[in-house]
Chain A
């Protein structure tokens, strides 16, 4: 991709710059339509219609919302801690967007092919933790502070089972780079790591239940990382009004929401790259069958986005079905259930790979 851009633009630095801004080109329309999808999906699940006035079938609803938010007065609360108040929304988006650099969108495009992709991702996405804390503290509001405290506890705790289940896959594959992990899952869908991996043999069949467990643990921890129900205590609307974003209005609030949706796709993207084959197609490539190999990167992009979006839809589905966990129950689930299971999983998979 870099080479293609270089030949197009003639300048290497400009090529790098464009290549690093490309995920933004994806994130913004995605967030726009993810918000619309959430409203429509939740409406259909609740026996209502959802937005259907602005644009055909309500498709421009989010655009209207963004325009409204942009023209709102940018209030900085009187006794707020001004620097923190202003930086908070930007920092949370930075945490989310930077991590997109390591997501393998297709075999030809990855923002930055780090050979420790996975660790980089989980580390950078922890930038959201201080950002939320800033948002809660700087608003000078007891409710926001409560929301921020709960959020920090939750996000820090749930990073552990997430990392443990990622390491399960890394042990089986042998590399930390997400790009490599995606490339290794070539072939058909039974080569995906959720079904044991590409090497056919006894190891593959032994691994299947444990990889499934790792996927489930990772999915649940990622729900907690993005503060979605059942783990949405930090923004528990009925308890704390708005939680850590109570005091934000206008574009600052929009940044928090944008970061939340960007985060949702990020963790779905990581899940698909690790467990569901990344950008690989489950049935083989159309480009191969019709003899047009240059079509393949686009097909891969399509598959990656499709799988990521399906997982995002599952997250939306869960939000509108399940009630909310209380703070101490949330911690109990993490420390007393997810972490022991993740550790046992790790040990068993380690033993299986050694065989």
Chain B
């Protein structure tokens, strides 16, 4: 009997698609339902961020950094101002450091909530998505109380913050954290250990530890493969060295080490650690000023600096070259989602179409960061 002739089908999961987390075009080459190759095409959200920076003064760049990873704006600000403060060699007041950590960790919770919710929605469970967004609304209310914005904050400025936290912020945050612990339990009951969800995500997209390191993956993606690397512990910045929390690693309990379920569950557990950090920071919060008395037009010394922080998605790094004038010569951003996305073809080869969605969701990319 003659060999049945089959052809490869090129399917385009186009820039507009319900589950590509932004405008990402995936060119998928299929043999029936099996994936032979996935070629991501990005650039649909390129806004010339790095070129813009060369024409702006250092303080003016802060709102632009918000818009890169729009789901974790506080942390983008954090990374930029930490880098600039090291370039300028200044020390910010203690109160500023603690408030930055509180905001950053609350932002990490919010970002992980979106990641988990959209991941569940892609797999088909639409209800946890709404529960997760309901909890995220409370965090956004806290942020709105502080700086007036819900998504793009422009809160952390070079040398301090734009304004101090309002009087009832601490009390409302503590209330939220108490409520949120129960919310994580609800999420686990509904989604994390659901048999269908586990079957869809366990043993799918297994990422071995050495491959993850070779590709430069960072953040929960790396830690889910068992590699113990978290910049908050390994190269602490701000006052993270005074905080007591655990680094969550993947365990492979539901399947293999480094599969989609591990990447999902690492994020769930990281949220619990964030609660711990915020509570500690609130306890240790000193009084003080929130601005370091810097001039509005900053002239850093000639030189260059590269500094990285632990974004909810991985290591966010800024490389800034200064020639002593008011505007930088070059600002380069090392976006974690960009590097993590390069893993996608490797993870998807040999699996089915539905697994592309699962893998993409577990990598947790934000196109704003990838395209800048």
A contact residues vs B (CB 8 Å cutoff)? 42, 45-48, 142-143, 146, 229-230, 232, 236-239, 241, 320-329
The reply to whether B9 and A142 contact each other, CB–CB distance below 8 Å, is yes
| Residues in chain A near residue B123, CB distance under 8 A | 323-324
Give the complex CA separation of A267 and B308 in angstroms.
Answer: 58
CB neighbours (8 Å) of B127 from chain A are 42, 45-46, 320-321
**B199 in contact with A232 (CB, 8 Å):** no
Contact residues in B for A238 (Cβ distance below 8 Å): 18-19, 121-122, 124, 357
Indicate with 1 or 0, residue by residue over B130-163, a CB within 8 angstroms of chain A CB atoms: 1100100000000000000000000000000000
Q: Which residues of A contact B200 (CB under 8 A)?
A: 323-326, 329
Contacts of B18 in A (CB 8 A): 237-238, 241
Residues of A near B368 (CB, < 8 A) are none
Docked CA distance A284–B256 (Å): 57
Q: Of B11, B130, B352, B357, which contacts A328 at CB under 8 A?
A: B352
Known: A46-B130, A327-B33. A241 touches B124 (CB 8 A): no
Q: Is B197 among interface residues, defined by CB-CB distance under 8 A? A: yes
B291 CB to closest chain A CB, in angstroms? 40
Given A229-B124, A241-B18, A47–B197 Cβ distance below 8 Å?
no
Q: CA A146 – CA B199 in complex, angstroms?
A: 22
- Chain B residue nearest in CB terms to A142: B11
Tell me if B352 and A322 are in contact (CB < 8 A).
no
Q: Is B6 an interface residue (CB 8 A)?
A: no
Known contacts A47-B134, A327-B33, A327-B352; is A239 also within 8 Å of B196 by CB? no
Shortest C-beta distance, B343 to chain A (Å), equals: 20
Distance (whole angstroms) from the CB of B122 to the closest CB of chain A: 5
The interface of chain B, by Cβ under 8 A from chain A, is 9, 11, 17-19, 33, 120-127, 130-131, 134, 190-191, 194, 196-197, 199-200, 352-355, 357
- Which partner residue on chain A sits nearest B10 by CB separation? A142
Per a CB cutoff under 8 Å, which of A46, A320, A323 touches B197? A323
Chosen A-B contacts, 18 in total, with CB atoms closer than 8 Å, are A42-B127, A142-B9, A142-B11, A230-B124, A238-B19, A238-B121, A323-B191, A324-B125, A324-B196, A325-B196, A325-B199, A325-B200, A326-B199, A326-B352, A326-B354, A326-B355, A328-B352, A329-B200
Neighbouring A residues of B9 by C-beta, 8 Å: 142
- Which of A46, A48, A239 has a CB less than 8 Å from the CB of B353? A239
Given known contacts A46-B127, A142-B9, is B120 in contact with A323 (CB within 8 Å)?
yes
Chain A minimum-CB-distance residue to B131: A47
Evaluate whether A323 and B130 lie within 8 angstroms (CB atoms) in the complex, with A229-B124, A238-B357 already known. Answer: no
Are B17 and A322 in contact (CB-based, < 8 A)?
A: no
The 9 closest A-B pairs by CB, nearest first: A324-B124, A323-B125, A46-B130, A323-B124, A238-B19, A323-B123, A326-B354, A238-B122, A238-B18
In the docked arrangement, what's the CA distance between A48 and B126, Å? 13
Q: Which residues of A contact B131 (CB under 8 A)?
A: 46-47
Known: A322-B125, A324-B200. 8 other contacts (CB 8 A): A142-B11, A143-B11, A229-B124, A321-B127, A323-B200, A324-B124, A325-B200, A326-B352
- A329 contacts across to B, CB distance below 8 A: 199-200
Chain B contacts of A320 at CB under 8 A?
Answer: 126-127
* Closest CB in chain A relative to B31 CB, distance in Å: 13
Taking CB as reference atom, which chain B residue is nearest A48? B130
Q: Which residue of A lies closest to B354 (CB)?
A: A326
- Which A residue's beta carbon lies closest to that of B130? A46
- Residues of chain B within 8 A (CB-CB) of A48 are 130
Question: In the bound complex, how far is the Cα of B123 from the Cα of A232, in angstroms?
Answer: 11
Q: Which residues of A contact B196 (CB under 8 A)?
A: 230, 322-325
A239 touches B197 (CB 8 A): no
Which of B121, B126, B190 has the most C-beta atoms of chain A within 10 angstroms of its own C-beta? B126
Measured CB to CB, the nearest residue on chain B to A238 is B19
How far does the alpha carbon of A329 sit from the alpha carbon of B203 in the complex, in Å? 13
Chain B residues with Cβ below 8 Å from A236 are 124, 354
Please indicate the chain A residues that have their CB under 8 angstroms from the CB of B191 in the complex. 323
Interfacial chain A residues near B190, Cβ < 8 Å: 321
B128 CB, nearest partner CB in chain A, Å: 9
Task: Please give, as numbers and ranges, the residues of chain A lying within 8 Å of B126 by CB-CB distance.
Answer: 42, 46, 320
Cβ–Cβ < 8 Å partners of B120 in chain A: 323
Whether A323 and B19, one on each chain, are in contact in the complex, defined by CB atoms closer than 8 angstroms, is no
Min distance, Cβ B284 to any Cβ of chain A, angstroms: 35
- A324 CA to B120 CA, complexed, in Å: 10
Tell me the smallest distance from the CB of B38 to a CB of chain A, in Å. Answer: 14
Could you tell me the distance between the alpha carbons of A146 and B33 in the complex, rounded to whole angstroms? Answer: 9
On chain B, the residues within 8 Å of A322 by CB distance are: 124-125, 194, 196
Interface contact B130-A232, CB-CB below 8 Å: no
Chain A nearest Cβ from B10, distance in angstroms: 9
Residue of B nearest to A45 (CB): B127
> What residue in chain B is nearest A143 (Cβ atoms)?
B11
A79 to chain B, nearest CB (A): 17
Task: Please tell me if the beta carbons of B354 and A239 are within 8 angstroms of each other in the complex.
Answer: yes
Give complex CA distance A230, B126 in Å.
12
**In the assembly, what is the distance between CA of A257 and CA of B122, in Å?**
22
Q: In the complex, A45 Cα to B127 Cα: how many Å?
A: 7
Distance to closest chain B CB from A292 (angstroms): 46
Contact A239 B19 (CB under 8 A): yes
Docked Cα-Cα span, A146 to B125, in Å, equals 21
Q: Which residues of B lie under 8 Å from residue A146 when comparing CB positions?
A: 353
A residues within 8 A CB of B130? 46-48
Contact residues in B for A328 (Cβ distance below 8 Å): 33, 352
Q: A232: which B residues are within 8 A, CB to CB? A: 124
Instruction: Give the Cβ gap from A227 to chain B, nearest Cβ, in Å.
Output: 13
Alpha-carbon distance A239/B13, docked complex (angstroms): 9
With A and B bound together, what is the CA distance between A326 and B197 in angstroms?
Answer: 10
Chain B residues whose C-beta falls within 8 Å of the C-beta of A229 in the assembled complex: 124
B89 to chain A minimum Cβ distance, whole angstroms, is 49
